Amino acid sequence: MKFETPATENPIDQLKVIGKATDRVEGPFKTMGRARYAYEWHDVAKNPAYGYVVGSAIAKGRIRSIDLSLAKVSHGVLAIVTAENAGKLGKGEFNTALLLGGPEIQHYHQAVALVVAETFEQARAAAGQIRIEYEKAPGAFDLAAAKDSAPMADKITGGVAASKVGDFEGAFAAAPVQLDATYTTPDQSHAMMEPHSSLAKWEGDKLTVWTSNQMIDWGRGDLAKTLNIPKENVRLISPYIGGGFGGKLFVRADAVLASLGARAAQRPVKVALQRALMPNNTTHRPATIQRIRLGTTREGKITAIGHDSWSGDLPEGKPDGAVHQTRLLYAGENRMTATRLAVLDLPEANAMRAPGEATGMMALEIAMDELAEKLGIDPVELRILNDTQVVPDDASPPSKDDPQDRKGDTAANQAGKGKRFSQRQFIECLRLGAERFGWNKRSAKPAANRDGMWLIGQGVAAAYRGNQTTKSAARVRLDSRGGVIVETDMTDIGTGSYTVIAQTAAEMLGVPLNRVLVRLGDSSFPVSSGSGGQWGANCSTSGVYAACLKLREMVAQKLGVSATDAVFSDGRVRVGDRDVPLGEVAGSAGLVAEDAIEFGKLAKEYQQSTFGAHFVEVGVHVATGETRVRRMLAVCAAGRILNPKAARSQVIGAMTMGVGAALMEELAVDKRLGFFVNHDMATYEVPVHADIPHQDVIFLDETDPISSPMKAKGVAELGICGVAAAVANAIYNATGVRVRDYPITLDKLLDGLPDVA
């Protein structure tokens, strides 16, 4: 079905199942250890061989020679795959660097060989016997050094690279109150708990890969493209995914090498990337340098707002879209944004949870805190004062037939003037949050509160993340006993897809939740939105909605009635005085409906976004500078919340990742050798139990009929946007030390801390 006009009342609005805090339907499998992840399919391939990946020891250059002689005769070795013997490989549309390097090396730990052996231990031992001689080439590894010569990027996700409205330079120069500050965010790693893993099995020229991938159809296409085989010959299966956060959006070396290894060894092969290989072998969130300029009246009204951002990537790579939210979040007549992209020879930069806004809000929301202090206005009030109900800078995505859009020039922006948000309860989030958090008890003066050795402070930040919509299909079967099976290639990466999809089908067809079986993550199922960009829940359930609507029509047709007259509830369908069990209508053959949701012009006519506010309290130890997060509250306005329990979990997870970004997460770059030094889970620090207090999340009551028939939006990424800045602002409030360089580790605070008394 096409979704082109705002949703009116529909069966989802009954809210008998949707909107309930249902336990996850797959919960028992996961807690019993029975959910099967990519490396765990012992029954489909009885005797798989094991692959072990060898990563490049240099960042840039060439392999001069590769000596496999010892490895080949090592115990149990069945095959060794290298670029030399792998045949001609293509490159996936979503990949920047090749997944099997050699002789040219594009980045450190780029895979250069796969050793396949009878056992894991044998493969690992043999991998250590491969002797490679490299010829190093000089590379660029330092963003700060490359910054000034970095050219403007082509585009950012969801828009043009640069935009202008009014006369920013003039207005900023004339503003009585000005802030001009530069912030830096480091490279970050997804560090999902399940390593990228694949089991590949060939049957003739048909390939099946059990893998761990967020976007089944993208993965299927790119694996086929890389292996130079038809897409139809590839099947991907990925029902459980041990976390992704953007790191499993694309086909990675595990899938390609397992496939090549299985072809070479003529046996199913499984490969999991070794943990220590992951940060350099796969993708990461790139570091940014961001300059923010804000000019206001004495009363605090923004008259000029400017955001420049720099990031780096391999040649042909992508920039981080850190300026995105600055076009949409605050009012102001005169504006500019610009995104520059340096060529760096570090590993491939790419999407990580809320790419763009996650980093952009880390900078913008400290800037707003600094501005509030300059103005002597409460930071909550400053944000409210600069709210806008229309889009201030509509820098639409570039399109081929409109060259103007590429520049995001003023003419294009004028056209978008007056464009409204489908829903924007930003002020409500701030006000409710302030009330619940007890914001009025905060002292505006920094370093004014102390609890023993701990300096106590509170911080606030806005949360903003776009809501994207994309086509999603599903197939729904009704059997003769009234059971329902939903099939779609949608994935559940911990997001709760199984549960919200089951809830959607149960609501639409009027059957109990436990009569719905959801099957996900198989490329033989209809193509869904997949999981990314916080679009998964809204789009995939809308696809299921469409298929269920079709099934309702089929049921009505069988009964010879109109679907609008039929009432579906308690596993029965009622029309007038007829009351028939659904299974009976389906009959022994059952009924099958397949449909997709396709989003139309509403996405262009309205700006669809999610909003929120983060409130954080920290304690900073006066002697050591250690920061402890004491309290966290997020208030979110994100359309209809399909399952408050799963949605809350998404938000607390994102809040925690934001604490990581604020306090500890940083891939340390070796600028001489060109790699991330701390490439494992002990040295790339992520929050653990002891770092995180109880977290509170409030969802505003909201439905967004412009977004989809579900009237829902995404929420999983909103939760991370702004958190790090709220922590940073709380640290400032606690200590009076303003750190503009993430993560805020104790060494950056020590010098500025008050005397220990």
Residues making contact with ligand FES (CB under 6 A): 193, 243, 494
Q: Is 553 annotated as catalytic? A: no
What is the tally of helices (H) and strands (E) in the chain? Answer: 19, 34
Residues between 639 and 668 with contacts to other proteins, criterion CB under 8 A? 645-646, 648-650, 652-657
Comparing CB distances to ligand FES, the nearer of 92 and 246 is 246
Q: Does 193 bind other proteins (CB under 8 A)?
A: yes
Comparing CB distances to ligand FES, the nearer of 243 and 397 is 243
Q: What distance in Å separates the CA atoms of residue 505 and residue 521, rounded to the nearest whole number?
A: 17
For residue 401, what are the contacts with CB-CB under 8 A and spacing of at least 6? none
Say which entry of other proteins, ligand FES, none residue 695 contacts (CB below 5 to 8 A, set by partner kind). Answer: other proteins
For residue 689, what are the contacts with CB-CB under 8 A and spacing of at least 6? none
Nearest partner of 610 among 351, 224, 328, judged by Cα: 328
Comparing CB distances to ligand FES, the nearer of 26 and 348 is 26
Q: How, if at all, do strands 163-165 and 159-160 pair? A: unpaired
Name the packing angle between helices 216-227 and 253-265 (round to 10°).
50
Nearest partner of 665 among 144, 189, 143, 279, judged by Cα: 189
Q: Is the CB of residue 152 less than 8 Å from the CB of residue 269?
A: no
- The tally of CA atoms less than 13 A away on the side-chain side of residue 559 is 28
Binding mask 349-388 for other proteins (x = CB under 8 A): ----------------------------------------
Supply the minimum distance, in Å, between the C-beta of residue 125 and other proteins: 8
Phi, psi of 549 (to 5 degrees): -60, -40
Supply the minimum distance, in Å, between the C-beta of residue 194 and other proteins: 4
Q: Does 736 bind other proteins (CB under 8 A)?
A: no
Comparing CB distances to ligand FES, the nearer of 6 and 243 is 243
Number of neighbouring beta carbons within 10 Å of residue 23: 12
Number of residues forming the site for other proteins (CB under 8 A): 65
CA torsion angle 528 531 533 538 (round to 10): 60
Q: Is the CB of residue 618 less than 8 Å from the CB of residue 456?
A: yes
Say which entry of other proteins, ligand FES, none residue 687 contacts (CB below 5 to 8 A, set by partner kind). Answer: other proteins
Q: What distance in Å separates the CA atoms of residue 678 and residue 684, rounded to the nearest whole number?
A: 5
Nearest partner of 48 among 268, 273, 198, judged by Cα: 268
Binding mask 266-285 for other proteins (x = CB under 8 A): ------x-xxx---------
Residues forming beta bridges with residue 98, ordered by sequence position: none
Q: Does 167 bind other proteins (CB under 8 A)?
A: no
SS3 assignment, position 140: coil
Q: What distance in Å separates the CA atoms of residue 292 and residue 430, rounded to the nearest whole number?
A: 22
Q: Does 46 bind other proteins (CB under 8 A)?
A: no
Q: Does 110 bind other proteins (CB under 8 A)?
A: no
Say which entry of ligand FES, other proteins, none residue 482 contacts (CB below 5 to 8 A, set by partner kind). Answer: none
Which residue's Cβ lies closest to ligand FES?
Answer: 193
For residue 495, give the DSSP letter: S
Q: What distance in Å separates the CA atoms of residue 632 and residue 68, rounded to the nearest whole number?
A: 54
Give the helix/strand (H/E) hosting 379: helix 379-385
Q: Does 122 bind other proteins (CB under 8 A)?
A: yes
Say which entry of ligand FES, other proteins, none residue 154 contacts (CB below 5 to 8 A, set by partner kind). Answer: none
Supply the minimum distance, in Å, between the C-beta of residue 243 and ligand FES: 5
Supply the minimum distance, in Å, between the C-beta of residue 273 and other proteins: 11
Q: In a 10 Å sphere around its CB, with 0-12 CB exposed, 13-18 middle and 19+ buried, how is residue 521 labelled?
A: buried
Point out which span in 62-70, 200-208, 515-523, 691-699 binds other proteins (CB under 8 A).
Answer: 691-699
Radius of gyration of the chain measured on its C-alpha atoms: 27
Q: Does 420 bind other proteins (CB under 8 A)?
A: no
Say which entry of ligand FES, other proteins, none residue 370 contacts (CB below 5 to 8 A, set by partner kind). Answer: none
Point out which span in 380-388, 554-562, 583-591, 693-701 binds other proteins (CB under 8 A).
Answer: 693-701
CA distances, 390 to each of 331, 420, 606 (Å): 8, 5, 10
Q: What distance in Å separates the CA atoms of residue 130 and residue 272, rounded to the nearest whole number?
A: 19
Supply the minimum distance, in Å, between the C-beta of residue 389 and other proteins: 34
Q: Does 241 bind other proteins (CB under 8 A)?
A: yes
Say which entry of ligand FES, other proteins, none residue 36 contacts (CB below 5 to 8 A, set by partner kind). Answer: other proteins
Supply the minimum distance, in Å, between the C-beta of residue 541 and other proteins: 18
Comparing CB distances to ligand FES, the nearer of 312 and 494 is 494
Comparing CB distances to ligand FES, the nearer of 494 and 687 is 494
Structural tokens at position 285: 């969130």
Say which entry of ligand FES, other proteins, none residue 689 contacts (CB below 5 to 8 A, set by partner kind). Answer: other proteins
Q: Does 191 bind other proteins (CB under 8 A)?
A: yes
Say which entry of other proteins, ligand FES, none residue 489 contacts (CB below 5 to 8 A, set by partner kind). Answer: none
Question: Which residue in 26, 370, 702, 717 is the catalytic one?
Answer: 717
Q: Does 33 bind other proteins (CB under 8 A)?
A: yes
Supply the minimum distance, in Å, between the C-beta of residue 655 and other proteins: 8
Residues forming beta bridges with residue 93, ordered by sequence position: none
**Would you say the C-alpha torsion 693, 694, 700, 706 has a positive or negative sign?**
positive
Q: Does 494 bind other proteins (CB under 8 A)?
A: yes
- Residues catalogued as catalytic: 717
> Which residues of the shown chain bind other proteins in the complex (CB under 8 A)?
23-24, 26-37, 39-40, 42, 119-122, 125, 190-195, 240-245, 272, 274-276, 493-496, 645-646, 648-650, 652-657, 680-682, 686-690, 692-695
